[in-house]
Amino acid sequence: MYFLRIEEAEQERMAELLANILELNDIDRDIVLKAIENKGIDCFLGNPRLFGLSADICLKVRHIKTIVETLFKEGVDASGN
C-alpha cells in the first residue's frame, strides 16, 4: 500500500506514450524510456540533446514538444469538446 503523487504516475504514463510515438517513427523505445528515467520528461522534452541522442531523435522530440505546446496554448481540449 502506498501513495504516489499523481505527477509521478502521470509522468510514467507520459514516458510510455512518448516512447510509443517515437517507436512509430522507428526510434527504439528503450533508449527513450532510459533517457526519461534519468532526468524526467520535462527535461527530455526541453533538452533532448542533453541525453546524447542522435540528431534525428532530438528533432522528433522537438516536433512533439511543438505540437503539444501549441495545442495547450491554444486551449485545445483533448476530449474533443
* Binding flags for other proteins, 19-58, as an x/- string (CB under 8 A): -xx--xx---------------------------------
Residue 6 CA, chain-centre distance (Å), reads 16
| Cell representation of residue 43 | 527535461
Q: Which of 37, 49, 54, 71 binds other proteins (CB under 8 A)?
A: 71
What is the distance, to the nearest Å, from the Cα of residue 63 to the centroid of all Cα atoms in its chain? 11
Q: Which residues bind other proteins (CB under 8 A)?
A: 1-11, 13-14, 17-18, 20-21, 24-25, 59-60, 62-64, 66-68, 70-74, 76-81
